[in-house]
A and B are shown apart, each in its own frame.
Chain A
């Protein structure tokens, strides 16, 4: 068995009287791509927001490489190497693509003169990254984010996660609003993440996309984990759909 990277243990979360998560335990190994499936409102986004520090659980614990950690803010999570890409990606729309990619980790060049930005290398790296995530249209890295489409913005956020080599990259419905090429870019990226030793949690509406790239599928239903360790190579899409809708039980249980 590979090394365990993240373990969320017995997580519960209420929103008022709605129980969004009920005693959910989830673990991700190093270099593992986990697909998180479930109907709308099943609690997928809530679960990963707790992992990324955007929400706090009412009960439960998070372990990173066996150490208990507190994810109080998104900054904590990023510092721990957990990068999340939301639909509404966290970019500064006034700044250029390159400046967003390197925000907070800007390369500077000498003579430093109040930390002079190395804009040439920023723009060059940005251009290469954009091609890797499938933005084939020739968009200069100096373009402000506000001039990009929703899909392009998402690709920029993905490019950022790729470049800074986070240990765990969480993608919550990253292919919504994306064009065909951009979607292919995201799927290619998820596959390549495994090869380069990163882990991923991949949430997507399109179950075919999930089947194409993940090692393991977890299913949430009404806040409870109803299936884990589903191997997409040994299971059909129909079987998984039945588990999601509650018409069948976890084949492993």
Chain B
């Protein structure tokens, strides 16, 4: 339905936007523009209210957890662009580290083998989601809601609800995934670098490759896409698997960083992730997606959560702001779309 300039349809600077005015107009009309302005506004307001906001300590805090949620949003963006979504990501986020650390702590496998097994289990969960959706044609809302409960229940069942220990290892794997890096006063985790790498790859795949064209077509008009030879079901299946695996990887990252694999962790992340994705300009109904927008959406919500606590707003009020941002951004995106469709 969109008539917005998505990354896929942005005019080439060389051919169709002569001069800097054209580039500027394309930039303002882009769906990422609104989220970009909002993020800048947030940073300005929080910095003015409390200079501590831009201190290395706080930025380090902000960037510790952000990559973990951020990785899930990348998979979710591609999946939503293909016309589906996944409510089981939070459960997989909690379940995968439980699998890995249980295998390791019970001396069943090495940590590395446990890591791989956890990712394979996640891939199977993603495959099951995709199978129910593409083969049995059950809406992804229902399929992944069921999967959310099954996976969370399994995590609680095999742990009796208790967190798994994670601090008895000095494996290189944990350093690679989420080792600490000092840049002067700023301390970040390796997970930030992985997140940036994953974001660049998924943005590239979505806008520059044949697979990206198929993903957008599968979400935009699946019948037309199928008639042209696009393999819609395998495309969606791949994205369900990818989303589950990246959620598992994010959960494992988190478990190493906080030194605990809690079977309850990741609860209700699915809603925050979907909120981040749609705030960035990806359509809930499929066909149009933007990784740049999603990264902005992630930063907007993480900055909001961090900033309002810093300036002394009770953390409990957080959801009021999040809800208001979602509503405001949806109004903006739909307004842009209508304006574009009427030909201005």
Question: Which of the residues A79, A116, A146 comes within 8 Å of B2, measured between beta carbons?
Answer: A146
Question: Which of the residues A75, A94, A114, A140 comes within 8 Å of B6, measured between beta carbons?
Answer: A94
Do A147 and B341 touch (CB < 8 A)? Answer: yes
Question: Which of the residues A78, A96, A117 comes within 8 Å of B209, measured between beta carbons?
Answer: A117
Q: Is A99 an interface residue (CB 8 A)?
A: yes
* A114-B15 CB under 8 A given contacts A90-B221, A90-B227, A92-B221: no
**Interface residue tally for chain A (C-beta within 8 Å):** 32
A211 to chain B, nearest CB (A): 31
Residue-wise interface mask of A (53-93) relative to B, using a CB-CB cutoff of 8 A (1 in contact, 0 not): 00000000000000000000111001100000000001111
A165 to chain B, nearest CB (A): 15
Q: Is A248 an interface residue (CB 8 A)?
A: no
**Interface residue tally for chain B (C-beta within 8 Å):** 40
Enumerate chain B residues within 8 angstroms of A103, measured Cβ to Cβ: 213, 217, 224-225, 228, 230
Q: Is B19 an interface residue (CB 8 A)?
A: no
Nearest residue (CB) in A for B289 is: A94
Residue-wise interface mask of B (3-32) relative to A, using a CB-CB cutoff of 8 A (1 in contact, 0 not): 111101111100110000000000000000
Enumerate chain A residues within 8 angstroms of B227, measured Cβ to Cβ: 73-75, 78, 90
* A95-B9 CB under 8 A given contacts A78-B229, A90-B227: yes
* A123-B12 CB under 8 A given contacts A90-B227, A94-B220, A147-B340: yes
Binds B, one of A25-33, A104-112, A214-222, A236-244: A104-112
Q: Is A151 an interface residue (CB 8 A)?
A: no
Enumerate chain A residues within 8 angstroms of B341, measured Cβ to Cβ: 146-147
Enumerate chain A residues within 8 angstroms of B10, measured Cβ to Cβ: 142
Do A143 and B228 touch (CB < 8 A)? Answer: no
A16 to chain B, nearest CB (A): 24
Enumerate chain A residues within 8 angstroms of B4, measured Cβ to Cβ: 144
Do A147 and B3 touch (CB < 8 A)? Answer: yes
Main secondary structure on chain B at its contact with chain A? helix
Q: Is B1 an interface residue (CB 8 A)?
A: yes
Enumerate chain A residues within 8 angstroms of B210, measured Cβ to Cβ: 106, 108, 115-117
Cα of A51 to Cα of B179 in the assembled complex, Å: 62
Enumerate chain B residues within 8 angstroms of A93, measured Cβ to Cβ: 1-3, 220-221, 287
Nearest residue (CB) in A for B287 is: A94
* Residues 324-344 of B at the A interface (beta carbon under 8 Å): 340-341, 343
Q: Is B43 an interface residue (CB 8 A)?
A: no
Do B213 and A99 touch (CB < 8 A)? Answer: yes
Cα of A171 to Cα of B209 in the assembled complex, Å: 32
Enumerate chain A residues within 8 angstroms of B216, measured Cβ to Cβ: 92, 94-95, 99
Enumerate chain A residues within 8 angstroms of B208, measured Cβ to Cβ: 116-117, 119
Do A75 and B209 touch (CB < 8 A)? Answer: no
Question: Which of the residues B205, B223, B225, B229 comes within 8 Å of A105, measured between beta carbons?
Answer: B229
Q: Is B226 an interface residue (CB 8 A)?
A: yes
Cα of A106 to Cα of B229 in the assembled complex, Å: 11
Residue-wise interface mask of A (96-136) relative to B, using a CB-CB cutoff of 8 A (1 in contact, 0 not): 10010011111010000111110100010000000000000
Q: Is B211 an interface residue (CB 8 A)?
A: yes
Q: Is B152 an interface residue (CB 8 A)?
A: no
Question: Which of the residues A95, A113, A143, A147 comes within 8 Å of B213, measured between beta carbons?
Answer: A95
A172 to chain B, nearest CB (A): 15
* A114-B224 CB under 8 A given contacts A123-B15, A140-B16, A144-B6: no
Cα of A90 to Cα of B227 in the assembled complex, Å: 8
Question: Which of the residues A90, A116, A147 comes within 8 Å of B223, measured between beta carbons?
Answer: A90
Cα of A50 to Cα of B211 in the assembled complex, Å: 31
* A90-B209 CB under 8 A given contacts A75-B229, A96-B8: no
Cα of A115 to Cα of B211 in the assembled complex, Å: 7
Enumerate chain B residues within 8 angstroms of A114, measured Cβ to Cβ: 204-205, 209, 211
Cα of A47 to Cα of B11 in the assembled complex, Å: 41
Q: Is B236 an interface residue (CB 8 A)?
A: no
Enumerate chain A residues within 8 angstroms of B209, measured Cβ to Cβ: 108, 113-117
21 A–B pairs (Cβ distance < 8 Å), ordered by A: A74-B227, A92-B224, A92-B287, A93-B2, A93-B3, A94-B9, A94-B288, A95-B9, A95-B220, A103-B225, A103-B230, A106-B210, A108-B209, A108-B210, A113-B204, A114-B204, A115-B209, A142-B11, A142-B16, A146-B2, A146-B341
For the complex of A and B, 3 pairs with smallest distance between CB atoms: A104-B228, A104-B229, A146-B3
Show the binding face of B for A, using Cβ within 8 Å. Answer: 1-6, 8-12, 15-16, 204-205, 208-213, 216-217, 219-221, 223-230, 283, 287-288, 340-341, 343
Show the binding face of A for B, using Cβ within 8 Å. Answer: 73-75, 78-79, 90-96, 99, 102-106, 108, 113-117, 119, 123, 140, 142-144, 146-147
Besides A73-B227, A103-B225, A103-B230, 10 other A-B contacts (C-beta < 8 A): A91-B224, A92-B221, A94-B8, A99-B9, A115-B209, A119-B12, A123-B12, A140-B11, A146-B2, A147-B341
